[in-house]
Amino acid sequence: MGKLLLLLVFVPCCLCETLQNKEGSGDEEQLNVVNPRTFLGNLFTESSAVLNGTPAPSVPPALKPPNNSTSEYLRGALSTRVIPVVYLLLVAVGIPANVAILCTLATKVRKVSSAILYCSLAVSDLFLLLSLLFKAHYHLHGNHWALGEAACRVVTACFYGNLYCSAQTLACISIKRYLAIVHPFRYKSLPKRALTAWVSVALWGVFTAAMVPVLLVRQSYRVPDGATERITCHDVLPLNQDSHVFLLYYNLFLTVFGLLLPLAVTAVCYARIVSELNRTHHDWALYIRASSLVFLIFLLCFTPAGLLHFLHYVQLFASGTDGLYVHFKAAVCLCCLHACLDPFLFVLMSRSTGSSLRFRPFKGTLSLSV
């Protein structure tokens, strides 16, 4: 696992540094590739970077927002105060909680198959929360990115890749619980350790590969705003370039596969779980209430961002407008909230099954069975 995490961090950084060094000689070609999860921006033709009469290939190209709503968002209280404060609060709570879960899974494991999925979820949440530190720094400095193009690409890929990976891992956990409760005999015959291990590796591989286009596309641009000139990271991009149609389809697919599909799978699984437990003669009221709460929190966290993400892409494709992006940015805070809540929901579900595992950071008796 340690070697895998090292590769996930080291390889993208090296790739982005190489691409950044080539951008000075290939700006025209690079600017034809865009990522449409942003505000629209019109590219300045003179933006091939001349600063004070001196060629400056490292200076990002300039974009002019086509409307005032983009500038209002970039300098408004929502993006410069509310969002970064929420991010920092989530980091302060979520990182220690996820580290505690990882320490517990590493030292006291009874059900290896469950531990693999929970460990994968905790690692994904940790990467997501760590990326929030850099995003909070960006927002608190007036949406000005001062860490370079390579860092912008890596942070953007880490943020969205682990957002999708967390949602898919939660869907896999719900499938595992569904099989254990609704189809117990079939579940018992499955090679659970090998299956969950391969599923976790596949999820990491798929979403690492899915973020490669983000690493290959310029994410930072200069945005003049009166006397102020800020460098945005992923927020304002030239979406009127020739290649944006392909990337719209690509990101629409990622939204459906990474957010909306896990929502549908989780909804079906938890509905069947609750229905099956209500038909038994045993008292499963505590587990039903815990499952219902976990599912409700999952819906509240992921549904707004998933739907707004999808509608934002549809709106860009249909009319070229970006009015939903501000609402999507606010909804993303709810997705990040789930990365903070996952360790506590793990404790809640474990307690509801009445186990014999002692969990030191949270006083109580827990189970890793489902």
Confidence of residue 139 (pLDDT cuts 50, 70, 90): very high
Mean pLDDT calculated for residue range 317-343:
79
Q: Residue 134 has what pLDDT?
A: 94
At 168-219, the pLDDT tens digits run 999 999 999 899 888 888 888 888 889 999 999 999 999 899 888 888 888 8
Question: Which amino acid type is present at position 310?
Answer: F
44 or 93, which is more confident?
93
Residue 33 tokens read as 């590739």
Under the banding of pLDDT at 50, 70 and 90, the label for residue 353 is: low
Please report which confidence band the pLDDT of residue 325 belongs to, taking 50, 70 and 90 as the band edges: confident
Exposure class string for 186-197: b at 16+ Cβ within 10 A, else e: ebeeeebeeebb
Quick: pLDDT tens for 269-312: 988 888 888 877 666 777 777 788 888 888 888 888 888 878 87
Least confident of 25-29, 32-36, 322-326, 354-358: 32-36
Burial class (CB in 10 A: 0-12, 13-18, 19+), 113: buried
Instruction: Of 46-60, 103-117, 193-207, 215-229, give the range with the top mean pLDDT.
Output: 193-207
| pLDDT score recorded for residue 53 | 42
Provide mean pLDDT across the span 335-345: 88
Cβ 125 vs Cβ 167: under 8 Å: no
Q: Which residues contact 341 (CB under 8 A, 6 or more apart)?
A: 297, 301
CA gap 258, 57 in Å, rounded: 36
What CATH class has 2-355? Answer: mainly alpha
pLDDT above 70 (res 34): no
| Integer angstrom CA distances of residue 129 from 13, 69, 96 | 18, 28, 11
Q: pTM of the prediction?
A: 0.77
Q: Are strands 54-55 and 39-40 parallel, antiparallel or unpaired?
A: unpaired
Whether 173 and 121 have beta carbons less than 8 Å apart is answered as yes
Residues 6+ apart with CB under 8 A from 50: 56
pLDDT tens sequence across 219-271: 888 887 766 778 888 877 775 665 445 667 777 888 888 889 999 999 999 88
Q: For residue 116, is pLDDT > 70? A: yes
What values do phi and psi take at 15, rounded to 5? -60, -45
Confidence of residue 19 (pLDDT cuts 50, 70, 90): very low
pLDDT at 126: 95
pLDDT over 70 (residue 3) = no
Residue 192 confidence (pLDDT): 85
At residue 352, does pLDDT exceed 90?
Answer: no
E-only strand ranges, the chain: 39-40, 42-43, 50-51, 54-55, 63-64, 220-225, 228-233, 236-237, 357-358, 365-366
Q: Is 312 exposed, middle or buried (0-12, 13-18, 19+ CB in 10 A)?
A: buried
Strands 50-51 and 54-55: antiparallel
Q: Average model confidence (pLDDT) for the chain?
A: 75
C-alpha span between 190 and 179 (Å, rounded): 10
Candidate from 58-72, 94-108, 186-200 with smallest mean pLDDT: 58-72
- Sequence spans of domains, the chain: 2-355
- State the pLDDT at residue 88: 95
User: What does the alpha-carbon distance between residue 94 and residue 131 come to, in Å, rounded to a whole number?
Assistant: 12
Q: Determine whether 241 is exposed, middle or buried from the number of CB atoms within 10 Å of its CB (0-12, 13-18, 19+).
A: middle
How far apart, in whole angstroms, are the C-alpha atoms of residue 70 and residue 319? 17
